[in-house]
Structure 1
Amino acid sequence: AFVEIDSPGYLRIKAQIDYTDSKSVDNSREIVIRAVEKIQTLLIDGEPGRSITESETFFLQNALIPVPEELIESFFISSNIINLGSIQDIEIKDYDVIFLANVPDFSNELSNRLNDFVKSGGGLVVFPGDNINASFYNQELHEKLNLLPASYGKILPIEGSNSVLSLQASGYNHPLVELWNDPGAGTLGDVKTFKAFELILKDGVDSNIAIQYNNGSAAVIEADVGLGKVYQFSSSADTEWNDLPVKAAFLPIVHRVVGSVISRMDSGLNIQVGDTFIRKVPQSWINKEATISHSKSETATFINAEISDDGGNVQFNQVNSSGIYDLKLTEPFELIQFSATSDPRESNPEKLSGPQIERLKEISSNFIESSSLNEITSAINQKRKGAEIWPLLLLAALLLTLLELYLSQKFSQEK
């Protein structure tokens, strides 16, 4: 089913089944989504060219916004193309995704800004080309900042050979390309690459190979960095190194890259009960008191944003009930909603296996095995016999102590 959303903001979606059982709490689920009016992208062009069609970002721009000129304003993605010399005039935190297309190198100040941008929840997509300074990317962005998941190695195919690399023709395991597991969607195997960098993954980095070449080397690597996401391509964004930009697959790949960045931004909006809620908030939240409350609760918990490199973070570790939570800032008023659900495994109707039961018996001194609710209730009551009278015994002992003190004082005064 498709639903048209009228305005941006947080929306609650609830699914429910009408079924009566002993555990009604798992008969419904609620999630929170954030509707955005427009996704803001910034394209930094490392080789603008003499005309628009010769620029490094020409195909990228058209893949991002594949509509006629009269529909560009109403399209859900907006793009701003600049060259490296204009970056100082740009507030990069106003964008959702930044593309670097054959950008040679840049200042340490911009490197740190990009690093803060990604770790605060933004997306960075890097395309190489003949202009890039591979040593800069390797030393500054990969080794020093851990912003890029891989370093750029040797040029592929090996110089002097007549071979051309093809993208993998099957086995699409990454969400970016799982669309092509459907034979009706075609294949990526007809995409030819004439030149690419070898991408060398760093040990211990949380990354995934999204697309491979037919020789097994990585064509695209995806990594979560801080609260954001990075995509590192091995070949260019134009047709100088490959023919992907003129293939039908280029548009869905680019849109899925952008979509995964936005999904990463909102991944913390739906968590499980017991998890810690973590959310990036604007600089304006710093030193201001906010509240978090369950939608069905009349009380709220006061909370403050913690200072980070580019704004602030809110953390809340008392997510003890399922449902919708409201995070509110009063002045100026801002609202963030998130959802907590119980672990689906708690609703698993399958019986415990023999080894699982034996393990429970080992760690529990009061193990009750029964499929009848009445039997379980009776067994619990039997175990609790005598437990209800200990408060009365304690009260009696206290009264006797007070009586003894009173009598001792009384008789000592009479003497």
Structure 2
Amino acid sequence: MFFFRLALTVQPENQSEGESAGEAAAPVLIDSILPGEVTGQKLEGYRLVLLANVSDLAPAALEELEKYVDRGGNLLITLGDRVNPGSYNRWVGSHRLHEGLLPGKLLRLVESADEENPVLEGDSNQTGSIAALNEKHPALAGFSEGKLGTLAGVRIRKRYEVHPGAAEPLMQDTGGIILLMEKTFGQGRVMLFTSAIDRDWSNFPLQPAYLPWLYRIVSYLAQPGSQRANFLGTGQIVKLPASVTELQTLQIFKPDGSAGYQQADPLETGVKTPDTFTDTDQAGLYAVRWAAEPDAAQPQMMFAVNLPHRESQLRPLLPEEVKSLAGPDNPVIFMEDPESAREAVLQARQGYGVWDLLLWAALLVALAEPLLASQLSKRRILRAADALNRRDLLPAANQPAA
């Protein structure tokens, strides 16, 4: 814990003269307790709990820790030589809340060569170097590009291979072993670092990137749940994690001051079911408060809803793009002449008159009827005259010769 505590409690360099070390506010306040002292009262008021190389937890302490995370607390688990894999794996299963606090089962301890005796080139399964990380995760953004430091020099000598289950892998070594993973647990989150947080199993604490990496992890976990959410656009559904151990009624205040309510009932199955808030048509800040404490000084959590990225694009849309956005049920009319806009709008609103079409059809029928009758009469007269001519010729043709 030496490097962990030092990184998070180092005093600022610009401390004024005469100001004692105790008077200068440390970036992070850290309290240490033994695993046997874990109770609900002890955990209350803390945003983040770290389990650093803890061998096991008593059943009562494990249950209190589950309740703490389920109700919005956050947990960072780091491993070490004191960890009992069998005991940790008993934290996982359908008999535990949300399938267990541990993001994945511990399979085996993987060891690499010492820094003084590195492994041969090509033995990538044992090198222990950081090979991949989730660049889109808020806690890790910037490390792949070197903005917050490089992780290329980190060498992990020992780490546990873990079966992630439903947890999200965030960092992996060159052999594909997960080094950092995250799991949602009710209203809170759990992160597991599969190596030691100090230099017992790696040279990570000696690397320049250790301090910003640790700060980003701790800051991310210490934030309220909704503040860790990704970019939200107007009209999107916001998920508010729900606790299964207490009844809660949430009151969401929109940017214009109006309020909406969400309620989550305790679940008997222990499966995480987040509340959803759908009335996000307004851009701005939304404040979430307990309905029982609407006038509290600070909201329980806040989240921002932004206008879609496409709203700020000034590039004209092509006709094909407009038709695609409108869909087949909304025909689009393109006008080159602005003066025809009024006529096009009226036509779109009123449509075509059915009676006009029927009147035109009746007029055409009325005009065509005399012509058709005249043609038919002429044909009848011609047929009648032809028949008379044939009848007059027949007697002359059959008259006997003198």
TM-score (norm 1): 0.62
1:59 aligns with 2:31: no
Structure 2 gap segments, 5+ residues each:
13-19, 120-125, 353-402
Structure 2 Cα separation of the partners of residues 295 and 132 of structure 1 = 48
SS of 1:79 mapped into structure 2: coil
The CA RMSD measured in Å over matched residues stands at 4.3
Structure 1 Cα separation of the partners of residues 185 and 336 of structure 2 = 47
Aligned residues: 324
Q: Tell me which residue corresponds to 2:368.
A: none
Q: Tell me which residue corresponds to 2:37.
A: 86
Q: Tell me which residue corresponds to 2:307.
A: 342
Q: Tell me which residue corresponds to 1:303.
A: 261
Q: Given the superposition, is the C-alpha separation of residues 353 and 295 from structure 1 closer, same or farther in structure 2, using an over 3 Å criterion? A: closer
SS of 1:198 mapped into structure 2: strand
Q: Given the superposition, is the C-alpha separation of residues 101 and 373 from structure 1 closer, same or farther in structure 2, using an over 3 Å criterion? A: farther
1:194 aligns with 2:194: no
Structure 1 Cα separation of the partners of residues 29 and 337 of structure 2 = 60
1:246 to 179, 202, 206: 206
- Alignment deviations for residues 316-372 of structure 1 (CA, whole Å, 9 cap, x no partner): 433333344455657572253554333223444445567655656762153334588
Q: How does 1:56-135 map to 2 (within 5 A)?
A: 57-67=1-11, 70-71=21-22, 74-88=25-39, 90-135=41-86
Q: How does 1:5-404 map to 2 (within 5 A)?
A: 57-67=1-11, 70-71=21-22, 74-88=25-39, 90-141=41-92, 144=96, 145-157=99-111, 163=119, 165-168=127-130, 173=135, 175=137, 176-182=139-145, 187-202=150-165, 205-210=166-171, 212-263=172-223, 265=225, 266-267=227-228, 271-277=232-238, 279=240, 292-296=252-256, 300-301=258-259, 303=261, 305-308=263-266, 316-325=277-286, 333-334=295-296, 336=299, 338-352=303-317, 356=321, 359=324, 363-364=328-329, 366-370=331-335, 378-385=343-350
Residues 102 and 132 of structure 1 are in contact (CA less than 8 Å); yes or no, is this contact kept in structure 2? yes
Structure 1 Cα separation of the partners of residues 200 and 335 of structure 2 = 70
Structure 2 Cα separation of the partners of residues 125 and 119 of structure 1 = 14
Residues 70 and 243 of structure 2 are in contact (CA less than 8 Å); yes or no, is this contact kept in structure 1? no
Shift of 1:100: 0.7
Structure 2 Cα separation of the partners of residues 77 and 125 of structure 1 = 15
- Which stretch shows the higher mean deviation, 243-252 or 183-192? 183-192
Structure 2 Cα separation of the partners of residues 371 and 223 of structure 1 = 56
TM-score (norm 2): 0.64
Higher-Rg member (1/2): 2
Q: Which has the larger strand fraction?
A: 1
Q: Percent identity?
A: 21
